[in-house]
A and B are shown apart, each in its own frame.
Chain A
């Protein structure tokens, strides 16, 4: 017995196979919303919380990764299973709640049996009994409880039904552990070969046939035994009902997994996803942009044009604006991903794309990480943990930074707006599509190349596999999707926000100080022209310009100067900082225009040094776009890549390879265009 058991809080771990309703149950009793697991990948990390306050249970509750057995098949599964036996910082759990889909009884009891045999104290939470009823079957929880030797509770977390009964079972079990000490689990080793496994399944099938009965007659559980002939007949009927698959799902799959229509719908769904990220988000982004432009102008009115006014208007307000401006895009992407996941389509997408991806050394299971990569490489790298094969997982992580994350969108939006006349904004959509296609294409090419040299680069090789359950289609539960989206967006703001804001402030400091109180000729000039001139003068004497002069030689071949160089360095904090950094460096003051329009205005007029050569031309802007497609300029991504791959080798390789390619291709673009007479 744990000597501290009187003072430590009891720990309850939720365990269950993918698609068993585990995370939905976690949401229901923890009161903390979290991603629903109907695709392996949603619960890659432990999520810990206290039990919902109004239930009056003082315990920690942990959501664990979805597993189908206690016998690990990969390194990551081993970690998942080990931490089940010994929860990091908490030790063995006091209680395990395991979710079982009642319509998938035999497959899901496989894990429950192992848990009980490992001496865990188990409560079985039976989910999706409505589906079982639709199959014309019902289940006896008393017999199931007796056969397994653990409490069995029917729950429907999606409707928050029967949760009270589960809570009572938790209370009862926790009281028992506090009185008699908690069970000490022993590592599972009952199954060491194929025969053990078959025996285990066999005994589960016996339990299954003893607890399921036809819904039509209610008393038959005992009657069955009276007539063995009838018994066999009903047993066959029960088995047939139980193992019948959802007809609607099969019908929909005939289209969505069809060789032609399936492929077409796949591309259609993906194109809708990406176009909506851009189109639906645009008005919202403009709104945020306008709002902060206004606020910034207001700040100048309020605090004057001294250093403090400048700090508030440029440093703080525009800095915050640059964080919030891309939130609409993130929300829309997460919303679509959530809906696709909740309907069951994501697993189909993974299946459709498995063959082509396996040709370049990836896996169908790379699909979800890659899709998330279009939002942000960081959650995408975490999602890659569901890929069982190590080589495929490392390769997926390797190429993720090439996929155009949403942080690049504000940059592209600005650069494209510079290239495209305002009355023809539709061309912008096409340019953006080309950027995305280039990003996908380059990730494929690089994956294929790295795969060829995988022995020396990835340095691991094991047998590739793709086994994935395709859950039955169902109507997405919008409230769940929306609250998950909201949580993801908040998480993103909390994670990226402070970094971006801090860099914004640092950059403001570097571009404003040492404030030499610039003297400029003020004759014949309007007030705003004087401010502009002072700003330019102050900047050219600033710390940033000192810093910039060091990197000038690197920027010159790209037709750019130190000011862009400083912004590119700042973009290593987060790519979208590039935009706010340009705004700061070109001293964009919030007039009546939006931030973007003012940046564009001053970009069009800036020249290199004291020459009259324009800094931003079609060629240099195109070069910048190319640079952003390839370059790995995100410190957080590098840090996560190091953590996920276990060493500095892969992240450093990513930084130098991708940024090197970016520089070379940008150089070729700029000088190639100039050679062709496009300036």
Chain B
């Protein structure tokens, strides 16, 4: 299964699950990355980390390592 850190620009995908073993799991869910939501990669900072995603009508920057626990279809 792919994860959000592997997304390409312009791809709109749906979140399948959030890896529960990640320490930031609950925080990622709380801020709006819940299964079923559509996300899109909007920007990458230099060094390709952190990444900005659009979710629920806003932009959220998260680290690549945190994006990796967002499983997508």
Contact = CB atoms under 8 A, between A and B. Distances in A.
Interface of A: 68-69, 71, 73, 103-104, 106-107, 110, 194, 197-198, 201, 242-245, 249-250, 253-254, 257, 259, 262-263, 347, 351-352, 354-356, 358, 364, 463, 465-472
Interface string B12-31: 00000010100111111111
A104 B49 CA distance: 25
B49 A354 contact: yes
A463 B23 contact: yes
B73 interface: no
B5 interface: no
A470 B52 CA distance: 8
| Nearest 4 A/B pairs, CB to CB | A470-B59, A355-B47, A463-B23, A243-B57
A347 B61 contact: yes
B62 interface: yes
Interface in B42-73: 42-47, 49-50, 52, 54, 56-63, 66
B24 A467 contact: yes
Contacts of B58: 104, 107, 245, 469-472
Nearest to A470: B59
22 contacts: A71-B26, A201-B34, A242-B57, A243-B56, A243-B57, A245-B54, A250-B42, A253-B52, A257-B43, A257-B45, A262-B45, A351-B45, A354-B63, A355-B47, A358-B63, A465-B63, A465-B66, A467-B24, A467-B60, A468-B61, A469-B59, A470-B59
B57 to A, nearest CB: 4
Contacts of B29: 194, 197-198, 201
A250 B61 CA distance: 13
A250 B30 CA distance: 23
Given A68-B31, A194-B25, A467-B31, A262 B46 contact: yes
Contacts, number: 118
B62 A467 contact: yes
Given A249-B59, A465-B63, A468-B61, 20 more contacts: A73-B27, A104-B58, A106-B32, A106-B56, A107-B58, A201-B29, A243-B38, A257-B43, A257-B45, A354-B49, A355-B46, A463-B23, A463-B24, A465-B27, A466-B50, A466-B61, A467-B60, A468-B62, A469-B31, A469-B59
A104 B56 contact: yes
Contacts of A263: 46
B30 A68 contact: yes
Interface of B: 18, 20, 23-32, 34-35, 38, 42-47, 49-50, 52, 54, 56-63, 66
Contacts of B30: 68-69, 71, 110, 197
Chain A binding surface SS class: helix
Contacts of B56: 104, 106-107, 243
Contacts of B66: 465-467
Nearest to B40: A245
Contacts of A358: 63
A198 B35 contact: yes
Given A352-B45, A355-B49, A465-B27, A194 B60 contact: no
Nearest to B18: A194
B19 to A, nearest CB: 10
Contacts of B35: 198
Contacts of A197: 26, 29-30, 34
A103 B42 CA distance: 19
Nearest to B49: A355
A465 B23 contact: yes
A201 B35 CA distance: 10
A376 to B, nearest CB: 27
A73 B35 CA distance: 21
Contacts of B32: 106-107
A245 B28 CA distance: 19
Given A107-B32, A194-B18, A351-B45, A73 B26 contact: yes
With most chain B CB atoms within 10 A of its CB, the pick from A364, A466, A472 is A466
